[in-house]
Structure 1
Amino acid sequence: MSKYVLIGSEGCGSVIVELAMREVQAEFELEEIPYLEPGPDRDRLLELNPLGQVPTLIMPDGSVMTESAAIILHLADAFPDQRFVPSSSDPQRPGFLRWLLYINSEIYPTTTFADDPDRWKISETRSQEYKDAIDQYRMELWANVEQVADDPYFLGERLSAVDFYIAVMRHWRPGKKAFAKALPKLNTIADNVSRLPQFESILKRNFPDS
């Protein structure tokens, strides 16, 4: 194998990694699957990633990487000319790492908390109340990112991987309109990313309203 294989699903976290791979012009093949649907694709995914989640990245040597932040940091090492992860000597690196991991550890998991209330033993009568509470909490978490965001991108003039997350995750619960209303700075950043030629087709394919 001489190239990466990115296993992903439309509109999911794999889009974040696809943006990063396009930015570094990595040679890769995208395998889009309905990752939650039972069948051969799901079975293969579970063999590669016990959590059955996307993105799952098969490396050129056949090994497997999971977790979008880990993949982002790997690509920064594998393509040293990239600029979306500040170098170890860059004064913006500590802030970048802080918010990259904040988005991944605090905000990202809430998308799964509300998707399947039955998994958490939430009764059917309370499931909507539970989803609404999670959505509100998610927006409160995003508000912390809004407070420190620069312009035109999160770090200022420099495009970073944090911008990839913002551009993709604004389409997730509670939806793009709610995101734009509550988080105008982050929404502008997402718009700026969506207009970049190298990303426009990817985001339009996954989110037609981009």
Structure 2
Amino acid sequence: MSGGYVLYGAPGSGSVTVEAALTLIGAPWRLEDAASWKDVTDSAEMARVNPMRQVPALVLPSGELMTESAAILTWLADSHPAAGLAPGLESPMRPRFLRWMAFISAQIYALYWVRDVPGRLAEGAANEALIKDRTLARIADCYRVMDAQVKPAGRFLLGDELSALDLYLAVVSRWGPRRKGFYAAAPGLAAAVRAVDSEPRLAALWAARFPFNEGWEG
């Protein structure tokens, strides 16, 4: 592998999960940063890199572009097995890892494209408010489904080792309904995301990219 990774991201966005994974992996990488996810949607440069105008977007050392956070995290974990961020192909935990990575991506993360700018799909303040209320309820319901079916077998979701799945859930669960809403819907998963929050290897990253400011839990 020649050179390093180039990651396009923004503070507090889904790119922070990839930044966390790259930090734990220890591979060389460089951040092309936007001020916020809102700036990304209006950026001609981002449209050139990723026509969907979304982050994260990761350029591999080969020059290949990857988008979609679940795909990026899974590929990074599989490409750097020494970091221990995903169960191996022969592990009995592999199906569980893939299932919930895809679940977070498809059932929860995807709703924020609607929720963040409801005017994309609705016209008028009343309709936009309805979309925000119903997407919030749907997200909470998805967390309840996870809580009922994912029974952490250790300190983290898949055992005693931190995985990309833990990183993914820890970041996404900080968005609406924010952590207090997440804890209420998924109390059985609370300890795992708190363990990610307190991971010493990520302390500097959280402080710089998604700080635990007063009232951050909601």
TM-score normalised to structure 2 length: 0.88
SS of structure 1 residue aligned to 2:86: coil
Unaligned runs of 5+ in 2: none
Q: Which residue of 1 aligns with 2:155?
A: 152
Offset of residue 90 of structure 1? 0.6
Q: 1:122 to 1:188 in 2, by over 3 A?
A: farther
Percent identity over paired residues: 34
1: CA distance, partners of 2:109 / 2:142: 10
Post-superposition Cα deviations, 1:132-190, rounded to whole Å, max 9, x if no partner, equal 11101101001111121314211121321110011111210112222223322222211
Offset of residue 2 of structure 1? 1.0
Q: CA RMSD in A?
A: 1.9
Q: Which residue of 2 aligns with 1:201?
A: 204
2: CA distance, partners of 1:78 / 1:89: 15
Alignment of 1:16-95 (within 5 A): 16-33=17-34, 34-37=36-39, 42-95=43-96
SS of structure 2 residue aligned to 1:69: helix
2: CA distance, partners of 1:143 / 1:38: 31
SS of structure 2 residue aligned to 1:112: helix
Maintained 8 Å contact 1:170/1:187? no
Paired residue total: 209
1: CA distance, partners of 2:123 / 2:179: 26
1: CA distance, partners of 2:90 / 2:72: 21
Offset of residue 113 of structure 1? 1.5
Post-superposition Cα deviations, 1:12-43, rounded to whole Å, max 9, x if no partner, equal 0000111111111111011221343279x921
Paired amino acid for 2:175: W
Paired amino acid for 1:176: R
Maintained 8 Å contact 1:4/1:29? yes
Maintained 8 Å contact 1:107/1:138? yes
After superposing on structure 2, the runs of 4+ consecutive aligned residues of structure 1 that deviate more than 3 Å are none
Paired amino acid for 2:158: L
2: CA distance, partners of 1:180 / 1:158: 21
